[in-house]
Structure 1
Amino acid sequence: MAMDPPTTDAGDELGSYSSLGLIVSYSQKDNAKFPKVLLLLSAYLDKIVKENEVLLDSSKIKESTTIFHGQRVPELSIKLYAERIFKYAQCSPSCFVLGLIYMERYLQQPNIYMTSFSVHRLLITSVVVAAKFIDDSFFNNAYYGRVGGISTREMNKLELDLLFSLDFRLRVNLETFRSYCLQLEKEALALVLERPIQIQATNGTKSLICNSSVDETCKHELVCQRYSSQALQGCSW
């Protein structure tokens, strides 16, 4: 199910961006809390996953298995997974809105539904592609694989599949981006108020592996990147 982008109002634009946590100054970036967009995006994706699974269980619709489908449902909830991506990938909050747009474009293909078995891989891949498209700096896929709990080889395959499925059309006009921000806030906020998001891990065997040793590696690489960035700022090219 895709969002139906509403008509945007110029007066709502900055307020929506600020409310979602998309406007963060560079000096505040390292100390910023998780932006609200993660909570709202997680609520929206959780809602769609549940609706799809009810639909698939109660009908004779045949679902097409994609490269994004894992063999097991990951332990981490969508919310915790989104927060992990934001924490270690260090991408701008806008990447999550852009990632949502990519996800919904991908899901327009026939007989493809986002479920608990595919939502995590779709999310990490879409956000990574968005970060590479709009952010000034980004990591390699080996690092993003560690963040997402998958191998480098799988990360590469997921990225290529998404890019080819989108026909490499990554550009999103400003009006569409604004509309998604407003609609995400309206739809997901209503859901959060009615039913708070479950933040604990879901039941099931872990397939996307996130452990302390991997986290330490990610933290180390983040420190190295910041040091390198500071050093480059003092260079003249």
Structure 2
Amino acid sequence: MQPPSFDLSKYPTVETIKLLASLLERMTAANDQINRASTARKDNVRRASSASLLGSSQVQGGLVASATPPPPAADTYTKFSSRSLPSIDIFSYLSRIFKYCPCANECFLSLLVYFDRMSKSALALTGRPFTIDSYNIHRLIIAGVMVSSKFFSDVFYTNTRYAKVRMRHVLKKL
């Protein structure tokens, strides 16, 4: 009896996208929560220092965790960070990319490798990890799929086509 084998090339791409979206959504939610906590600590320090400057012995106001993550801090803002949260969820975005620029499972799974390498590289170069959050995940996805499709596929789409896939989504919410 042969042991069961898994052939990635025969695995349905839609299922790969579901798994990938789930992982990326959990990762961005965790990083958003870390960013929110970091922002809250910085706000507490600012309030405390403001209160001490004013001679007040007590700082008023509690912090409430909102459902919307705060925008990236100035020191973590990158060229991939957007000014506002995209209106499309990660699964829908990956499905949209697959619909208009079909590619193999390898292209989508390579995103995980790219994101890991970017994080490690940033940590080595700057001493701070590259945080993937709700403000930059969509731009990182489209750039990663574009690069990986050019690497893995003999036939790939132009940068202009990827830009249109991204921009049509952005224009829909206006």
TM-score (ref. length: structure 2): 0.67
Q: Deviations over 1:175-222 (max 9, x none)?
A: xxxxxxxxxxxxxxxxxxxxxxxxxxxxxxx8x3358xxxxxxxxxxx
**Higher Rg of the two aligned structures:** 2
**Equivalents in 2 of 1:95, 1:42: separation in Å?**
14
Distance 1:89 1:46, change over 3 A: same
Matched ranges for 1:40-189 at <5 A: 40-59=19-38, 64-108=76-120, 109=122, 110-149=128-167
Q: Quick check: 2:90–2:138 contact (8 Å CA) kept in 1?
A: yes
Distance 2:34 2:7 in 1: 32
From 3, 6, 18, the equivalent of 1:15 is 6
CA distance in 2, matches of 1:147, 1:75: 15
CA displacement at 1:34 relative to structure 2: 5.0
Q: 1:100: how far off? A: 1.9
- CA distance in structure 2 between the aligned counterparts of 1:100 and 1:86, rounded to whole angstroms: 17
> Which AA in structure 1 matches 2:94?
A
Q: Is contact 2:28–2:132 with CA below 8 Å preserved after alignment? A: yes
C-alpha contact 2:14 2:95 (8 A) present in aligned 1:
no
Are the equivalent residues in 2 in contact too, given 1:91–1:135 (CA < 8 A)? yes
Point out 4+ residue stretches in structure 1 off by more than 6 angstroms: none
Letter in 1 for 2:15: K
Note the C-alpha offset of 1:78.
0.2
**Aligned-partner Cα distance in 2 for 1:66–1:58:** 20
Distance 1:49 1:99 in 2: 14
Structure 1 residue runs of 5 or longer lacking an equivalent are 1-10, 25-32, 151-205, 212-237
Secondary structure, aligned partner of 1:71: coil
Question: Whole-Å Cα distance in 1 between the matches of residues 91 and 30 of structure 2?
Answer: 17
Query: CA offsets, 1:35-66, max 9 Å, x none?
Result: 21100100000001011111111135965211
Distance (Å, rounded) in 1 between the aligned partners of 2:76 and 2:98: 30
Give the count of matched residue pairs.
132
Among all aligned residue pairs of Structure 1 and Structure 2, give the percentage whose two residues are the same amino acid.
27
TM-score normalized with structure 1 length: 0.50
CA distance in 1, matches of 2:25, 2:157: 27
> More displaced, 33-42 or 66-75?
33-42
TM superposition shift of 1:130: 0.3
Residue ranges of structure 2 left out of the alignment (5+ in a row): 43-72, 123-127
